Amino acid sequence: MDSSVVKESPRRIFVTGTAGFIGFHLSKLLLDEGFVVAGYDGMTDYYDVRLKQRRHEELRKSPNFSATEGMLEDQALLDATIDAFAPDVIVHLAAQAGVRYSLENPRAYLDSNVIGTFNVMEAARRNAVQHLLMASTSSVYGANEEMPFTETEKADTQLTIYAATKKANESMAHAYAHLWNLPTTMFRFFTVYGPYGRPDLALYKFVDAMLDGRPIDIYNHGDMYRDFTYVADLVRAIRLLFDAVPERPASRADIVPGDSLSPVAPFRIVNIGNNDKVRLLDFVDAIEESLGIKAIRNYMPMQTGDVPATWADASLLERLTGYRPATDFRDGIANFVAWFRDYSGK
């Protein structure tokens, strides 16, 4: 054996929200690729904790996974956990989720999404990580009407506290990237779905209700469009963005048109979506076809804070990574239905 060949240690990735829907799938992908992953999750009861526990049980099958249970607001625990792990990259996915729940309990979003995110940024700065990647949302586009949504357009008309906290995260992260030269990528998720999905998301609720013979609530009388993004596509995109580390440009002239790279910081915002919009009623039709069941449809008016359509321009993601999500929603629904029947026993 050539003694001059030094085997590189696997990269160490700290992921917040590993018991969550997206954090679980990302961690599984990273472990499959040989990364060492440390998870951090509050295991809150916003939805059934047993599903979160099931996700962590799956991840713990890998010797390269460890997890700490704690809230983002617990700065002492978060700091101690991150400092002990000494990550190369931090991916911050944990948050108080749910657009509609933010109407009922807005303070939870400030505590987790603003204070908690600040604590993560501080830890990333102190540990001088190679790259900080943080989740935002398509909800920051708010009342914008020009579609598809592009990262370089203004996004100043948020319609919910949830969206407002995520826009605040983007602004905070830009300031930290500028002040401390901390390479930061914010990704704006669109409507994510797939196996191990959250019970408060439409696909889970629809399938569960239809199998029980209960009606499903369809808002805005079905006149809604969403950029449905399959979770496996989403986490693949996040993984590829690890290596698209933003650098502070020497001048504004160095920024390629269409790139959201900041002129004054190593900071970038990237849409992760399917680059298409699907009519909600077509989505419901596909669920019916997959289940072999006709839904009892309860048509309702638009909910406060909701928007009629979302649609991502994913060209920047493709330019940075060579990758673009492309799973057809019918295939993604079929995969979810297979998982749900196994998980629920229905």
Dihedral of the alpha carbons of 257, 259, 261, 263, in degrees to the nearest 10? 10
Q: Which structure tokens are listed for 160?
A: 């919910």
294 and 211 Cβ atoms separated by less than 8 Å: no
59 and 109 Cβ atoms separated by less than 8 Å: no
Assess whether 162 carries a catalytic annotation: yes
The span from the CA of 346 to the CA of 332, in Å, is 19
From the list 47, 101, 109, 162, the catalytic residue is 162
Q: Which structure tokens are listed for 338?
A: 């297979």
Q: Which residue has the tokens 């915002």?
A: 269
Please choose, from the candidates 142, 136, 124, 120, the residue with its C-alpha nearest in 3D space to the C-alpha of residue 168.
136
The span from the CA of 119 to the CA of 82, in Å, is 11
Secondary structure element (H or E) that encloses residue 269, with its range: strand 267-272
How distant, in Å, are the alpha carbons of 17, 112, 285, 299 from that of 260?
26, 26, 36, 39
The span from the CA of 27 to the CA of 33, in Å, is 10
User: ∠ CA 154-158-163 to the nearest 5 degrees?
Assistant: 110
64 and 37 Cβ atoms separated by less than 8 Å: yes
Residues taking part in catalysis: 162
